[in-house]
């Protein structure tokens, strides 16, 4: 959560673009990363991220404080943008197939870089085979390091449901990873 977030939100709801700009600057990398893992292409992720924040700005006056970080609302908008994107595009391949594995590869140790890239590729392939709901939970909880409460808010589910889904997602992911060895 951004320090002073509530104050920035109040100012943004009042129409102050610079306050919204600070929220954008803070949350844009997280939302972009979430969308990038879902769509796999930088250009599409950038476009969808832009749409998320445009949608948020256009609807900021309807935002209501519910005890969750502002990012929960942004993730919900992002999820909807991704769903709309796939409804319109109906791709034949999984979005994670296109994710650049070079992002996480360390440059100082080539052997470790190759091993890490191979592991990342296996994990990425396994995640792409999960149900979309499981993919979202894995990304939000373990890539974005979001709290269960925040994921619940973003996905419109109870914390208990998220815990159960996370358990099932991790169990499914382990099966896929262990089965691919």
pLDDT at 108: 54
What pLDDT score was predicted for residue 122?
A: 79
**Taking residues 85-98, what's their average pLDDT?**
61
Mean pLDDT calculated for residue range 41-69: 91
Q: Is the pLDDT of residue 81 over 80?
A: yes
3-state secondary structure of 156: coil
For the chain, how many residues are written? 181
Domain boundaries, the chain: 5-179
Instruction: For 88-131, give the DSSP string.
Output: HH--SS-GGGGS-GGGG--SS-HHHHHHHHHHHHHHHHHHHTS-
d(CA 138, CA 157): 15
Q: For 5-179, CATH number? A: 1.10.1740.10
Model pLDDT, residue 112: 57
Quote the pTM value.
Answer: 0.66
Kindly state the average pLDDT of the residues 51-70.
90
């Amino acid at each position: 959560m951004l320090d002073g977030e509530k104050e920035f939100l109040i100012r943004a709801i009042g129409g102050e673009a610079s306050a919204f700009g600070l929220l954008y600057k803070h949350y844009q990398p997280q939302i972009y990363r979430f969308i990038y893992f879902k769509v796999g292409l930088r250009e599409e992720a950038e476009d969808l991220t832009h749409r998320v924040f445009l949608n948020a700005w256009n609807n900021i006056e309807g935002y209501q404080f519910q005890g969750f970080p502002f990012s929960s609302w942004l993730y919900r908008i992002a999820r909807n943008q991704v769903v709309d994107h796939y409804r319109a595009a109906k791709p034949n391949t999984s979005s994670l197939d296109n994710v650049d594995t070079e992002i996480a590869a360390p440059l100082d140790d080539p052997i470790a870089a190759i091993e890490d890239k191979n592991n990342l590729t296996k994990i990425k392939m396994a995640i792409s085979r999960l149900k979309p709901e499981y993919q979202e939970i894995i990304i939000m909880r373990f890539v974005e390091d979001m709290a269960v409460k925040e994921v619940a808010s973003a996905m419109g589910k109870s914390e208990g449901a998220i815990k159960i889904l996370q358990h099932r997602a991790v169990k499914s992911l382990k099966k896929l990873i262990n089965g691919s060895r």
